[in-house]
Amino acid sequence: MAPPTPASTPTPAPRSAPSTPHHQLHVHHHPPKTIPKHRLRFPSPNIKFHGAPAPPPPIADHPVEVIGRIRDPPADLRKDKDRDWDKSSSTAVEIADDARSVRVRTDVGYREFALDGVSMSENEDLEGFYRRFVSSRVEGVRLGAKCTIMMYGPTGSGKSHTMFGCPKQPGIVYRALRDILGQGDENDDEGEAIGAALFVQVAVLEIYNEEIYDLLSGASNGVGGPGLGLLKGNNNTPKVRLEFMGKKFKNASYISGNEAAKITREVAKVEKRRIVKSTLCNERSSRSHCIIILDVPSVGGKLMLVDMAGSENIEAAGQTGLEAKMQTAKINQGNIALKRVVESIANGDSHVPFRDSKLTMLLQDSFEDDKSKILMILCASPDPKETHKTISTLEYGAKAKCIVRVSLTHLPTFKDKVDSDESLILLRSRIVAMNEFIFKLQMENKLKEKERDEARKELLQKEAELAELRTKIQHIEGRKSEIKEEEINLKVDQRTKTLKSELTMMEERTLQQKQELDMLRQRLEEVELERCKVVEKALQDIDGGRLVKRLETYSGEQGMVKSMELDMGELHDTNVVKEIKEDSCQPESYKKLFQLDPSLALIEEEANASMSRFPDKVCLSTVFEEDEEEEQEERESIEDEVDKEVVEEHTDRAGGTHGFNSLVDPGVRGNNNNNADCVFPSYLSCEVGSENNSTEITKDPASARKTRIQNIFRLCGNHRELAQQVKTSSPLQRGPQDENKQPSPLALRKVLGSNLGLQAEQPQATPKYMLVSDSILKESPVSALILPFASLELKEEQKSANKELKRSASSERYQDKKENESPKDMESDKYIDIYVKWEASKEFSGGLIRKLKVLKNSSLADLRKLIESNLEGDNKKFTFLLLGDPSGAPVSKEKEASSQVNKLPTCNNQMNSYLACLRPVKKPIQNPDHVPFGSLENTLSPGLTSQLSDVFSPKVDRLNTSYLTSF
């Protein structure tokens, strides 16, 4: 049982006039042995101490102010009122005249409870109630005070109605917000400032089933905080459960700001999340305690508004079911805990059970903080059925009202009072100044926020413009690429057209050139025809005996003899001359030759064609028809070519008959007058008769001379024909387009090489011979055949060979040398003269063969090749003798490659002159039936030579040595 309180002291029910509050107060003074920090002090206005002056009363502060608010009578009571309702007999609660005490009618009488104020909602609306009892507390909070306003009372007594109001009139919460934030009418959303606005932080909590939930968290997005318990509110949005540590709860959400309208809207919205339930006592009964904490950090003020769930009787409320009963039990637990706390504080207990419930834990600061005030609003119903609840509530309030906070450490003096008043004024002025400053800051903040919004808008606009520009740029770039492609296509088309026109022009030009070529061919044919005519005419002349006459005339005269003697030199006593029967001999010879060498087959064809066009005797006529200018010129050109060959012959005639003697026609020996009639080698002009040959031997000197002349002219003609055929015999090398071109030197050399055994197609392999090839050609008997046409291209061939030498890797040294040396130095320093001679023996006395010019660094093997190319047949078999060597031993063939030519002995002590002495190697004659080959045979390949032996070298009678005289 709760200790009796003054308010709960039963008093006899007044029968007439209502008693005054003074009559209702019955003070029971129980001075405590020890004065606790918080102690209950019952008011004792008339305490007198006899015999001694009364000590100054300690300063007592009533931290808990208790106000009673009696709601409107219930509807059923009003019905009675409408039917001439007797108010005094129908209601169980009456208010004293001083409006500070309330009298409750019970069955046994009245009970009066002295409070700090009482309000009948019937007579005073919420606005009046707020202004009379609450606004002063809120103003204190604006100045930095701490105040807790809690609603206490049974269910349906109007706690929530008073705290939150109704649509017609706002409750304490919204009015307090408006006042603290210093703004005007609550209907004005924007809220005109009536003073300096304060920045507030608002938290809204709910204690349900002894758990604290944050009603703000997840209110807007419906999502709870992490790791915290969730509870769905009326709008099915989860709530965040808060951890309570010590006296503080953690991680609560706040509504921050200074705009009353916005915060009011938010709180109203959040309040709807509170758990309510319809009961028999209340259609919308709150099932949780709701705490609204309003902090004013700028001044340190704090306003805590607590709407407690109404304690109720489970049966009366009609709660059925375990959950409902648990709810009610929890609600009552909080209320009972608060009641105990209040009683403990009022009784001056050393222990106050704040920890019995979450509600008392939350309110601990409100009770313990010296600066904190508590305004307890006791809600009660005038319904007589609720009398016991009303009395219980009033008893609780009366007990709370008895709580006195006494400070014995410092008793304020008058001066303290003055100082405190002054300091209070000073502090208030400072607070006002600070509030103004804060207001300015807030206005600046608003302006900055506006500027920020404008800047954001501008930024968005710029971004939109930028995106538009980017799209434009992309569009332009796309068009540029299209334009570029078009330009390229246009240029390609133009170029194609130009090339086509050029192609057309080239085709026209080619056609024109073809036409010109046809014309030239036609003209050539005409010229050929003319020449044929001329030849026919010449033949007619020959047939007519003009040439025969001339020959006879010459043969009959001494002049002819002299002329022939002059022509033939030492052969004047030769009286055996063989006549060459060309028609029977040469074609067969050619056939055999061409069968062996296919490349010559083409020459054969052309030669046959030419021979068909130019009969044998044409040659003769071309020599002697002096009065026909064209033939004469042709003959002279041939003679010039032959002259050139003869002039360049440097054979040493003094060398005996061995080796080189056979190269030169005996008629040439000792005759250096360059007479064209005497230059042809005898093997060309004479052939030894044989069994298979159709030559015949003429023994008559006159006839022999004539035959010789005929042979000369015939061979001269053949020679010219052959030269012409070779000149024009380039079908192998010439293409169709090269018909009018001269054969290239290389091609000519190939033809010659393939026919005559020369290795002209390998200039880089034998560079040394290239330098001396001129002399080789000049000195070789083959030169008599090839020089007329070969000499034409010799220089160019040498040039091309030099070019090829330059290209080859081995010619790099040569090129460097050439660059560093002057041409004269190169000529003089690069070559040495080698005098080649045979060793003197029993057969012949030796003698100088000829002088050769070779490279300085040539070896004896190189010299051998060079000498062999100038020698014939078995004469190629020789060895070098080292004359300087005391032993005089011949050089072995293996050592020739390593022996330099400059190791040879010098010749007559001359610089760059050396002497090469050759010793012939004798071998048995394998084919003595054959006359030694001419130069043509010697230059052919060995295999070819053996097969051609029957063709070019007619067999001779070994018993008959007369063939030797023909040389």
- Chain residues in the site for ligand ATP (CB under 6 A): 71-72, 121, 153, 155-161, 282, 284-286, 309-310, 379
Q: Which is nearer to ligand ATP, 155 or 347 (CB)?
A: 155
Q: Which is nearer to ligand ATP, 77 or 296 (CB)?
A: 77
Q: Tokens at residue 368, please?
A: 């313990």
Percent helix, strand and coil across the chain, each rounded to 5? 50, 15, 35
Residue 655 in contact with residue 849, Cβ under 8 Å? yes
Residue 670 annotated as binding site: no
Residue 134 in contact with residue 172, Cβ under 8 Å? yes
Which run of H or of E encompasses 423?
helix 414-543
Least separation in angstroms between residue 332's CB and ligand ATP is 11
Least separation in angstroms between residue 399's CB and ligand ATP is 20
Tell me which residue of 366, 350, 356, 361 sits closest to 400, measured CA to CA: 366
**DSSP letter (8 states) at residue 956:** -
| Three-state DSSP state, 357 | coil
Least separation in angstroms between residue 50's CB and ligand ATP is 50
Q: Which is nearer to ligand ATP, 282 or 718 (CB)?
A: 282
Least separation in angstroms between residue 260's CB and ligand ATP is 23
Residue 911 in contact with residue 904, Cβ under 8 Å? no
Least separation in angstroms between residue 131's CB and ligand ATP is 16
Residue 155 annotated as binding site: yes
Q: Tokens at residue 872, please?
A: 């014939």
Q: How many CA atoms lie within 13 A of 125 on its CB side?
A: 7
Residue 48 annotated as binding site: no
Q: Which is nearer to ligand ATP, 48 or 168 (CB)?
A: 168
Tell me which residue of 190, 166, 156 sits closest to 283, measured CA to CA: 156
Q: Which is nearer to ligand ATP, 158 or 667 (CB)?
A: 158
Give the list of residues 6+ apart from residue 790 with CB closer than 8 angstroms, or none.
748, 749, 752, 777, 783
Residues listed for the chain: 967
Least separation in angstroms between residue 321's CB and ligand ATP is 17
Residue 846 annotated as binding site: no
Q: Which is nearer to ligand ATP, 275 or 304 (CB)?
A: 275
Residue 184 annotated as binding site: no
Tell me which residue of 292, 264, 135 sits closest to 191, measured CA to CA: 264
Least separation in angstroms between residue 338's CB and ligand ATP is 14
Q: How far is CA 115 from CA 28, 400, 595, 818, in A?
A: 16, 10, 158, 139
Residue 728 annotated as binding site: no
* Pairwise CA distance, residues 901 & 883, whole Å: 13
Q: How far is CA 512 from CA 88, 505, 517, 526, 738, in A?
A: 146, 10, 9, 21, 17
* Helix segments in 283-321, DSSP class H: 314-317
Q: Which is nearer to ligand ATP, 332 or 575 (CB)?
A: 332
Sign of CA pseudo-dihedral 752, 754, 757, 759: positive
Q: Which is nearer to ligand ATP, 160 or 953 (CB)?
A: 160
* Helix segments in 729-782, DSSP class H: 745-756, 767-779
Q: Determine how many CB atoms are found less than 10 A away from the CB of residue 44.
A: 12
Q: Which is nearer to ligand ATP, 72 or 950 (CB)?
A: 72
Least separation in angstroms between residue 305's CB and ligand ATP is 14
Q: Which is nearer to ligand ATP, 282 or 298 (CB)?
A: 282
Least separation in angstroms between residue 208's CB and ligand ATP is 13
SS (H, E, C) 424-452: HHHHHHHHHHHHHHHHHHHHHHHHHHHHH
Burial letters 697-729, b for 16+ CB under 10 A, else e: ebeebeebbbbbbbbbbbbbbbbbbbbbbbeeb
Residue 635 in contact with residue 623, Cβ under 8 Å? yes
Least separation in angstroms between residue 317's CB and ligand ATP is 8
* Pairwise CA distance, residues 341 & 148, whole Å: 15
Q: How far is CA 799 from CA 563, 734, 795, 805, 806, in A?
A: 43, 21, 6, 10, 10
| Three-state DSSP state, 827 | helix
Tell me which residue of 576, 641, 577, 586 sits closest to 616, measured CA to CA: 586
| Three-state DSSP state, 226 | coil
Residue 159 annotated as binding site: yes
Q: Which is nearer to ligand ATP, 282 or 357 (CB)?
A: 282
Q: Which is nearer to ligand ATP, 310 or 788 (CB)?
A: 310
Q: Which is nearer to ligand ATP, 395 or 665 (CB)?
A: 395
Residue 305 in contact with residue 291, Cβ under 8 Å? yes
Q: Which is nearer to ligand ATP, 145 or 379 (CB)?
A: 379
Residue 888 annotated as binding site: no
Q: Tokens at residue 48, please?
A: 């007198």
Q: Determine how many CB atoms are found less than 10 A away from the CB of residue 12.
A: 9
Least separation in angstroms between residue 161's CB and ligand ATP is 3
Least separation in angstroms between residue 66's CB and ligand ATP is 17
Binding-site positions for ATP: 153-160
